Amino acid sequence: MNTAAAASLESYRDSLARIQPQLTGASQPWLAQQRREAAASLQQLGFPQRRQEAWRYTSVDRLLQQAFVPAGNDLPEIDLDAFVLPQLDAHRAVFVNGRFVAGLSSLEALPAGVTVGSLKQQIERNPIVPAKWLGQAAGVPLHAFSAMNTAAIDDGLIIHVAQGRKLERPIEVLHLTTAPTDAVVAQSRNLLLLEAGAQATLIERFTSPDASLYFNNSLSEVILQDDAELEHIRLQEESPAAFHLHSLFINQYERSRYRNTGFALGGAWSRTELNIDFLGPAAAAELDGLYVTGDQQLTDTHIDICHSVPGCQSHTNYKGLLHGRGRAVFDGRIEVKPHASKTDAHLHNANLLLSRNAEVDTKPQLEIYADDVKCSHGTTVGQLDPAQLFYLRSRGIDAPEARRLLCLGFAGEILDRCRIAPLRERVRAAVAALLAQAATAVEGE
Amino acid sequence: MLNIDKLQASVDDKPILNGVDLKVDAGEVHAIMGPNGSGKSTLAHILAGRDGYTVTGGTVNFEGEDLLALAPEERARRGVFLALQYPVELPGVNNMVFMKTALNAVRAARGEAALDAVGFMKLVRERLGLLQMDERFLKRNVNAGFSGGEKKRNEILQMAVLEPKLAILDETDSGLDIDALRLVADGVNALRSPERAMIVVTHYQRLLDFIRPDFVHVLAGGRIVRSGDRTLALELEEKGYGWLEQEDAA
């Protein structure tokens, strides 16, 4: 391990040792033990190295050079109006630097049998659900960042939908992070439990009121019991200086359905890890994603889908638009275990490189140990088609506008997967703005 | 309107056009016929400004301007339109957005105000009616998953919306059965006007039964070897292109 990594590891460990006794539920043995074990594993895991396959294309050096301090309890003032989508009718929970802010949230209209709010408060008031489920889907930390998150479990989002309850309106969760003075690390820990037959739509937006430097190290556990359905839309628009890591662990029981549509637009360094485990037969997961990555940006997507029971479906489709000196990584893996017959698993990643200096490392993997399965995987990396460009120009459309239309067309397939119109149009506009910026940069060169 | 003078062009150093001369005036329909490889499509593409061709000699003047000096979008804005032999599919690009963007770019160049969604729909509905096409075309992505006939009709719809001064139809008949051909030809005929010139590039006489040209030119070996009226096309149909080559040799 290099010196920067060793120094960071020590400082994180020391700060964890300092804060652990002050955290919520420190006196609850189940939680204290999880935190202690995670802190202990931190030393053993060390920070990820490029020689590890899952980190081969993603260096954490830049992240470790920063001296992040844990986000404090004093939260900066937030002008919520800057973030609200007027057309979006939703229950809203707002977190600032990983902490729930009741004053900014509007959760009054939640129906009976539905809990949305602060994990911290839940642990203090009624820890039954957290005590049973926290750590179940995530398991033993895979890397130091997960260990750090677990070692400092304090606040974050909890959603609990009781058996058979169906939410009509979506739940919108704003994860705002800001570090006006010292660079902070915010670590929200999120737990979503949909009991049998429950249905919900969750929109998570990760953003910042400013361009500050911070590290958002989030971990989410999602448990979908029999026949539960969750539509999960993630919009990552972190500050341009931010580091963002979101590890998601999704456990799917019999016939449950999970749809995740992810948009990664912001941040200097961002990584999303989606781990899907099918624990009951006939469950289905649809994962769609779009990343737009430019100068000074690295966007990394890791998808790990484990088919260990028969008859489950997973359809993954990720697309990337890279401009400037943008770098992206896509690492998607499907594993079909013995006995997981009738598995239907497809994974595809397509990338459009808009400049010579953009780079993508894409690695779809398929490991099949069962018979009678339908599986495919593929990846493409290409440039705008000159024939398409000519066609648009021959109709009077100038070259920058032609490129913009083609890029939006490329992104459109994923955008259209988002069924929440105000959010979809918001993302479409954001993508268009990023492309316009990229085009201006090209002309300026 | 259009004056092509001794145009020479090559692809990858291979000469394709060896001195083409052609004059086209407003209101005229010219057919350019010729065997495969004679340079018909090359001529059409060069007029629209497609990459991949090197002009090695001659000039093309369009309404007093050097057409070859203009970018493809500038040519379109001045009123040059090429209906492609193989219309390109644009997945994810909505046909209506595409046509509205194109029309407003052309209108801006003509000094006309941009049309809003309502104004555009009014205009496009009227043109759809003229071409007997239905509105479903607008909701689809440009040419994506279109049949051969639908693609060609979509080209004609774009022409009807953009209202070019000079329309070049490159092998618009290729790949069409007789019913689709009749639909496309009816559309083209509906757009004939005293202000508009058309160049119809085709291998077969068949199209000219439906779109009656004022002039017929035969392109062979990169030059126009024969010009005449519609009877020339009929003669070609009867005798084949070999007839001209033999005559030339004689």
What number is the ipTM of this complex? 0.95
Residue with tokens 């929200």: A188
Among B30, B70, B23, residue whose Cα is nearest residue B46: B70
* pLDDT at residue A282, rounded to an integer: 98
Q: Is A287 helix (H, G, I), strand (E, B) or coil?
A: strand
Q: Does A387 touch chain B (CB under 8 A)?
A: yes
A330, part of any domain: no
Tell me, what's the pLDDT at A3?
A: 65
Indicate whether A55 belongs to any domain: yes
The number of distinct structural domains making up chain A is: 1
Looking at residue B38, the DSSP 8-state letter turns out to be S
pLDDT band for position A445 (50/70/90)?
very low
The residue of chain A with its CA nearest to that of B109 is A396
CB nearest A394 (choices: B48, B91, B92): B48
CATH of the domain at B14: 3.40.50.300
Share of chain B above pLDDT 70, in %: 98
Which residue bears the tokens 């919900």? A200
Please give the residue range of the domain that contains residue A246.
3-72+90-280
What angle separates helix B148-162 from helix B178-190, to the nearest 10 degrees? 0
Residue A164: inside a domain:
yes
What are the residue ranges in chain B where pLDDT is below 50?
250
Average pLDDT, chain B: 91
Specify if A339 maps to a domain: no
3-state secondary structure at position B26: coil
Please give the distance of CA A183 from its chain centroid, rounded to a whole number.
21
Q: What is the mean pLDDT of residues A327-343?
A: 97
pLDDT in tens, A231-263: 999 999 999 999 999 999 999 999 999 999 999
Confidence band of A270 (pLDDT split at 50, 70, 90) = very high
Q: In terms of residue numbers, what domain contains B100?
A: 2-249
Classify residue A318: in a domain, yes or no: no
pLDDT, mean of residues A428-435: 93
Cα–Cα distance for residue pair A78/A208, rounded to 1 Å: 10
Q: What is the pTM of this model?
A: 0.89
- Name which residue leads in pLDDT, A179 or A441: A179
- Structure token pair of residue A75: 């939260």
* Residue of B47, B75, B80, B93 to mutate for A, most A C-beta atoms under 10 A: B93
At B216, which amino acid appears?
Answer: V
Residue A416 pLDDT greater than 60, yes or no:
yes
Residues of chain B positioned with their CB less than 8 A from the CB of A405: 90, 93, 97-98, 101
What is the rounded average pLDDT for all residues in chain A?
93
Going by C-alpha positions, the residue among A399, A413, A410 that lies closest to residue A443 is A399
Q: Do B72 and A386 touch (CB under 8 A)?
A: no
How many helices (H) and strands (E) would you count in chain A?
9, 21
Report d(CA B74, CA A397) in Å as an integer. 9
Q: Does A408 touch chain B (CB under 8 A)?
A: yes
Alpha carbon distance A50, A71 (integer Å): 28
Q: Which residue has the tokens 């003078």?
A: B5
- The two three-digit tokens of residue B188, written as one number: 């083209």
Token pair 């799917």 is at which residue? A252
Number of independent structural domains in chain B: 1
Whether the Cβ atoms of residue A117 and residue A93 lie closer than 8 Å to each other: yes
